[in-house]
Amino acid sequence: MGMRMAGRRYGHGAAVAALLALWACSGGAPADQAVPGATASASDVDTLPAPSSSLGTGPPPAALHPLEGTEWIVVALPGAPPPPPGVRATLVLDREGGVVHGSTGCNTFDGSWEIAGTRLTLGLTTIEGRRCDDALARLETDYVEALRRTGSFRLRGDVLELLGDGGVVARLEPRSTTGG
């Protein structure tokens, strides 16, 4: 786990270095006590002053969208047979980086997602290429097509309905509701 700045992930060492630089710039150590080439130890970090409100911390993180971070399980693909018993086709919208991932019931997929109001854009970029039996291959084909046709969504209680031009293309429930 690290710190995220301007689209890049930095380790904890970079975070410590940034804090020490801020501390030094804010007058944390008198110039006559600076030792060229000295390194900070863990005990040095514990003595850093609290960040000044004048430094600013950026905007607070946006609230999670109700769809984010939940594993959604396909319960119905209108016009298609139901998923076989014990098979889970899933969808997860990760907050970090707008990444979507899930399972078709046979293969995994990932890509990108974007929400604006009730508009939902899913861009699948990778689908694993494992061979599936006939029932799972049919589920995969139907589910991937539903994801590609999705242009918006609505929540009805705990049920997520993915909508395309012709109406509902998939119904999903959060994992906790489906017994997971």
Distances 24 to 19, 34, 49, 55, 128 between C-alpha atoms, Å: 9, 9, 11, 13, 50
Q: What is the 3-state secondary structure (H, E, C) of 46-57?
A: HCCCCCCHHHCC
pLDDT at 75: 96
Query: CB neighbours (10 Å) of residue 30?
Result: 7
For the chain, percent of residues with pLDDT exceeding 70? 61
Task: Give CA–CA dist 106/24, Å, rounded.
Answer: 55
pLDDT at 6: 41
Q: What is the 3-state secondary structure (H, E, C) of 143-162?
A: HHHHHHHCCEEEEECCEEEE
Q: Which of 141, 83, 68, 74 is nearest to 107 (CA)?
A: 141
- Paired residues of 110 in beta bridges: 101, 126
Give pLDDT tens digits for 152-166: 999 999 999 999 999
Q: Which of 149, 128, 134 is nearest to 77 (CA)?
A: 149
pLDDT at 69: 87
Q: Does the pLDDT value for residue 3 go beyond 70?
A: no
CATH 2.60.40.60 fits 71-174, yes or no: no
> Mean pLDDT across the stretch 40-54?
41
Task: Give CA–CA dist 67/143, Å, rounded.
Answer: 18
pLDDT at 67: 86
pLDDT at 56: 45
pLDDT at 141: 95
Give pLDDT tens digits for 71-92: 999 999 999 999 999 999 999 9
Instruction: Assign 176 a pLDDT band (cuts: 50, 70, 90).
Output: low
Q: Which of 76, 153, 88 is nearest to 114 (CA)?
A: 153
Instruction: Assign 18 a pLDDT band (cuts: 50, 70, 90).
Output: very low
Which DSSP string corresponds to 22-70? HHHHTTSS-GGG--TT----HHHHHTPPPPPGGG---SPPPPPPTTBT-
For the chain, the structural domain boundaries read 3-55, 71-174
Contact assessment for residue 172 and residue 67, using Cβ atoms and an 8 Å cutoff: no
Give pLDDT tens digits for 89-141: 999 999 777 899 999 999 999 999 999 999 999 999 999 989 999 999 999 99
pLDDT at 110: 95
- Paired residues of 76 in beta bridges: 171
